[in-house]
Amino acid sequence: MLGRWAPEEVAVGEAGRNKIVVLGEHAVVGRRLADTAARVRTPRDIDGPAGELAGNSHLVASTDGKVRVQGTVTGFRRVFSAEINGVAAASDRADVLAFLLGSVMDERRLAVHLLVPSLLHPLTNEPVWRGVSFLPTDRFLLLDENGQAQQVRWWTPPEPELPLAEGGRKLRAALTAAVDVRTGGHELVSCDLSGLDSTSVCSLAARRSKVVACTAASPDPLDDDVLWATRTAAALDSVEHHVIAQDEMPLIYHGLLDMDELLDEPCGSIADYARWLTIARRGAARGSRLHLTGFGGDELLASSTSHLRTVVRTRPAVALRQLNALAAKHRWSRRQMLRQLADSRPYHSWLMGTADRLTTPAPEGGPVLGWGPAPSLPPWVTAEAVDSVRELIRAAAPTSEPLAERQGQHLEIEGIQYAARPVRQIGRLAARIGITLAAPYYDDRVLEAGLAVRPEEKDTPWRYKPLILEAMRGIVPAESLTRQTKSGGICDLNVALRSNRADLLALWDDSRLGRLGLIDAAELRRLCTRPLDPHDPHDLHGGLYQTVACEVWLRAWERATTHPKAGAKP
């Protein structure tokens, strides 16, 4: 094993020929791992201990000559593999394996990252580097004595059967352990303090540490984050509240030309990385070396409407009541709803069908009662890029399996993994300013707690995030639990586009995506000279986000290749 870790990130235990290593955010001690190493006889014997780990870590175990390597089910800790000189190797970064292979980028896989949303299992998880593979998060990689590898499934999602009260207790225990793993040994930490998700994390952290809580002010007059955060901080001991003024917060697309971090895949959130780092820097300036965030809470605490396909068979009256309420609330077409409910295609057939709709955006705000929203490519993508993505989908579809048998659970797991991908990359940016980014909602035990609750109780049209309200009674101040609003979390996108127009236009001058034949750079440049049309059927802002991510990623790697000392090292 080769790597670079802080001492507190590593725990090692061994007994005889067996050795187990845990790497990341955890509270494991070597003695416990040694006891486990003494008991196991095969790699599968580690399933139980692996399923009990709190925190967010990689696990590597050598058992009688065979090596087991795994990340997290949420995808925050990822594992990639490649065969190098006939021997299998694994890494937490795809670009490291690509470097060892002498591999180059696969332009077709880069085109997949232009999808909006960039959410299409399993294609959007695959690395952009040729010869490098992604390990599905419900499996571990098994390396035998001869250096050969196979993937072994070890995790299955829990059945969503717990009533809300019991599920709240389970989530409370899991989230408490997740926060305690991080705050143990830290007298001072920093934390986002905005919506209910980060408020819960902040309140848990304040039980054990002094917390520097940071809230970003917004120009949106309907954004009430500062109001609620101020109330929460006043009710909690050990919280020092900082409100970051509007004029201190960079707009989206700020600083794109200066981005030099070598990420192993394009990151959609790179468009507003400067905004998040502004918050983290406030904590770092106060002496924090650990910043807790509520990232992942929205995905975990929401219940996919696709669950209602199952509920309509088991509890039809409950399902029909919720479907009617959702139709009224979101103005869904009942014809579309019935058509989706009647669609019984297996996942591989649904995936194959998305290939035919890549240039046809789904109706905005429409129902999602199947395997997921069909992504589309923005209008400035070339016909060649569309053909490449279509070919990849058609090649992958026949053997693709969903992440869970139930469509609702598949969508929830996919949503968590989708959201974890950019947060994993933001963690690298945070490390450059001396901050460890901790995202407890991406812990496997927290995910399992959320998945185990009855979906029709976890999320309803009539209550806001009932599961976290149930879980946090007595921890989050009572008044804060009455909040029924959520900030959009972003500033006006067209204002951001106008303010950073010069930098955006510079990206499309001699665009690297344009050189590869993936986009029509002239068309994109023309679109960026004016506000994006909100009535266009395509999600133009979402498309711009993804295209910016790919362009910035290409330029960072080009600079590093041309001028090795100019870029950050992988």
Do 389 and 289 lie in one domain? The reply is no
- HEC-encoded secondary structure of 390-431: HHHHHHHHHHCCCCCCCHHHHHHHHHHHHHHHHHHHHHHHHH
Q: What is the pTM of this model?
A: 0.95
539-545 contacts, C-beta under 8 A, 24 or more apart? 539/116, 539/361, 539/364, 539/378, 540/378, 541/493, 542/116, 542/117, 542/378, 543/114, 543/116, 543/377, 543/378, 543/379, 543/380, 544/271, 544/378, 544/497, 545/116, 545/268, 545/271
Do 279 and 418 lie in one domain? The reply is yes
Residue 306 lies in a domain: no
- What CATH number is attached to the domain comprising 80? 3.60.20.10
Out of 425, 449, 482, a domain closes at 482
Do 140 and 16 lie in one domain? The reply is yes
Residue 93 lies in a domain: yes
Do 440 and 372 lie in one domain? The reply is no
Say how far apart CA 125 and CA 122 lie, in whole Å.
6
Residue 115 lies in a domain: no
Beta-bridged to residue 24, according to DSSP, are 57
- What CATH number is attached to the domain comprising 190? 3.40.50.620
Say how far apart CA 348 and CA 124 lie, in whole Å.
15
Burial letters for 399-423: b for 16+ Cβ neighbours within 10 Å, e otherwise?
ebebbbebbbbbbbbbbbbbbbbbb
Strand order of the β-sheet with 56-63 is 10-15, 18-25, 56-63, 66-70, 139-143, 149-153
**What is the per-residue pLDDT for 570?**
42
Residue 389 lies in a domain: yes
Residue 112 lies in a domain: no
Nearest to 216 by CA among 279, 274, 269, 270: 279
Do 187 and 74 lie in one domain? The reply is no
Do 268 and 319 lie in one domain? The reply is no
Number of domains in the chain: 4
**What is the per-residue pLDDT for 564?**
58
Nearest to 304 by CA among 122, 123, 454, 463: 454
Angle between helix axes 164-183 and 196-205 (nearest 10 degrees) is 60
Do 363 and 274 lie in one domain? The reply is no
Do 399 and 447 lie in one domain? The reply is no
Out of 362, 384, 405, a domain closes at 405
Residue 120 lies in a domain: no
Do 284 and 316 lie in one domain? The reply is no
Nearest to 358 by CA among 370, 345, 335, 375: 375
Structural domain span for residue 375: 312-405
Number of residues in the chain: 570
Do 377 and 473 lie in one domain? The reply is no
Do 144 and 28 lie in one domain? The reply is yes
**What is the per-residue pLDDT for 219?**
85
Write out the two tokens for 490: 């972003």
List Cα–Cα distances, 154 to 47, 139, 148, 482, in angstroms: 7, 5, 19, 40
Say how far apart CA 396 and CA 145 lie, in whole Å.
30
Q: Tens-digit pLDDT profile for the chain (570 aa)?
A: 999 999 999 999 999 999 999 999 999 988 999 999 999 999 999 999 999 999 999 999 999 889 999 999 999 999 999 999 999 999 999 999 999 999 999 999 999 999 999 999 999 999 999 999 999 999 999 999 888 999 999 999 999 999 999 999 999 999 999 999 999 989 999 999 999 999 999 999 999 999 999 999 988 888 899 999 999 999 998 999 999 999 999 999 999 998 889 999 999 888 888 988 999 999 999 999 999 999 999 999 998 999 999 899 889 999 999 999 999 998 998 988 999 999 999 999 999 999 999 999 877 778 899 999 889 999 999 999 999 999 999 999 999 999 999 999 999 999 999 999 999 999 999 999 999 999 999 999 999 999 999 999 999 999 999 999 999 999 999 999 999 887 765 557 888 999 999 999 999 999 999 999 999 999 999 999 999 988 888 999 999 999 999 999 999 999 988 765 544 444
Out of 405, 431, 465, a domain closes at 405
**What is the per-residue pLDDT for 468?**
97
Do 464 and 401 lie in one domain? The reply is no
**What is the per-residue pLDDT for 175?**
98
Contact 296, 423 (CB under 8 A): yes
Residue 117 lies in a domain: no
Say how far apart CA 529 and CA 42 lie, in whole Å.
61
Angle between helix axes 383-396 and 347-354 (nearest 10 degrees) is 170
**What is the per-residue pLDDT for 566?**
45
Helices (H), 432-499: 444-451, 455-458, 466-471, 493-499
Say how far apart CA 72 and CA 53 lie, in whole Å.
10
Residue 488 lies in a domain: no
